[in-house]
Structure 1
């Protein structure tokens, strides 16, 4: 299975957190104290990222991996823990995994939060080019440009949190990272957004240059139950943890209440 960790009360509603391309479950670390007081939180690493081996991919050959493959690995985690339904929040590619599940396996998703994500991450060619570069040279060539894509400012890229995530990128398995690029390249959920019925929060970053606010607006407009919230942040919205935390907790509390699920009080 994907490497993962669990925090929070065992009897609390389950919440799965999906990371972005190039990072690990650590991208959610600033929000874990608040989220795990009220939910049973599962954070996972994508194949080839963190402590998840690239060998988990069913077809790691170039061009073969899909977002559906990644979603199946997440469902295997939920099945392992006996979770028929769970809340899901994901950043960027992690959000795409959740959106795929909500569109194709709606009975499994209690609520959905898409953070700085997209229904289509642009044309496939640049993603295939990045995959080829990483297969040839590893992730080192990405270390110079990623801070500008991930964070809203130079100061935001020079923090312990940012340095931890850049270390994750440096340590990513080239085969796993490239396969995830292939998944992004082939991802286009625009025609299936109307199938998402779970209460959905779409969070966009007003300073996000990787998935600008237009991507968030398209998601919110295409999902019948989608609500849009824009934050003053870059692509990795967890760099603004208090704002993202407040938006997520409000959304999750409302979704849990509407479904009749008991959520432990804060504190």
Structure 2
């Protein structure tokens, strides 16, 4: 894809790392974490299509869905085993890469992965239904506010970028709710031999713990961590704590 904004926080050239941000965010969210890691890894990232400084997402009738497109962009940046870090939607992309190519991952840190297929949740189903109804009625700002009230912070004004992004969020159902990428296929998680760390905020929606429980039960080498006082956006609100936990997983690899 042209118009993809790349980000780079230089560090140890022998320790490449790739970080994948959440929906309705941008790669800039990793800046404070990179600073806290103080060059331990050579960290790269990018703004997903339709986010940050990257061009808008332009789907085509015969092209991949959004989750697949982002996965391909991320995978194309991997040329040797690296430390893979993801938050929320980005964490599901990271997990998809690790399942497909476990040999490419040195360590895997998953912060609040939103792979709802791992733990179906009535509250999330209700939110998805409400958002779909609002979007069908063209009430995109209300749909964005509903989403952010659970998964982020509602800004004083819903801008044009968020109105575009909420349509992207709504289009991820097949991947996140129905596991169209088959991340949870039999034997998939079990073949990840890199150390995995699952991080969640203490104040996150309950479904996050359920997802983490389901993933942890199948991963061969997994650790769990909870960030006190944090919600779903822990990398932005508690970067020092999150960076410290990432460092622990780097040590395990």
Instruction: Report the 3-state secondary structure (helix = DSSP H, G, I; strand = E; otherwise coil) of the residue aligned with 1:144.
Output: helix
* 1:200 to 1:178, Cα distance in 2 relative to 1, 3 A: same
Which of 1 and 2 has higher RCO (CA within 8 Å, sep 6+)? 1
TM-aligned CA deviation for residue 163 of structure 1: 5.6
Whole-angstrom distance in 2 between the partners of 1:168 and 1:197: 42
* 1:182 to 1:129, Cα distance in 2 relative to 1, 3 A: farther
Structural mapping, 1:59-98, within 5 Å? 65=65, 67-78=67-78, 83-98=79-94
TM-aligned CA deviation for residue 185 of structure 1: 3.4
Aligned pair 1:184/2:184, yes or no?
no
Q: What residue is the counterpart of 2:21 in the other structure?
A: 19
5+ residue gaps in structure 2? none
Instruction: Report the 3-state secondary structure (helix = DSSP H, G, I; strand = E; otherwise coil) of the residue aligned with 1:252.
Output: helix
Bigger mean CA deviation after superposition, 96-105 or 230-239: 230-239
Q: Is the 8 A contact 2:144 2:163 kept in 1?
A: no
Q: Cα RMSD (Å) of the superposition?
A: 3.3
Structural mapping, 1:82-231, within 5 Å? 83-121=79-117, 122=120, 127=128, 130=131, 134=135, 137=138, 139-151=140-152, 157=153, 170=162, 172-173=164-165, 176-187=168-179, 189-191=183-185, 192-209=188-205, 211-231=207-227
Q: Is the 8 A contact 1:24 1:168 kept in 2?
A: no
* 1:197 to 1:77, Cα distance in 2 relative to 1, 3 A: same
Q: After superposition, what is the alpha-carbon deviation per residue over 1:48-93, rounded to whole angstroms, capped at 9, x for unaligned? A: 22223344656588xx616343211111233xxxx32211111111
Q: What residue is the counterpart of 1:259 in the other structure?
A: none
Q: What residue is the counterpart of 2:55 in the other structure?
A: 53
Q: After superposition, what is the alpha-carbon deviation per residue over 1:134-181, rounded to whole angstroms, capped at 9, x for unaligned? A: 587485224423443235xxxxx4xxxx869x7696264566444445
Whole-angstrom distance in 2 between the partners of 1:218 and 1:208: 16
Instruction: Report the 3-state secondary structure (helix = DSSP H, G, I; strand = E; otherwise coil) of the residue aligned with 2:116.
Output: coil
Task: Give the TM-score normalised by structure 1.
Answer: 0.74
Whole-angstrom distance in 1 between the partners of 2:135 and 2:82: 34
Q: How many residues align?
A: 239
Task: Give the TM-score normalised by structure 2.
Answer: 0.78
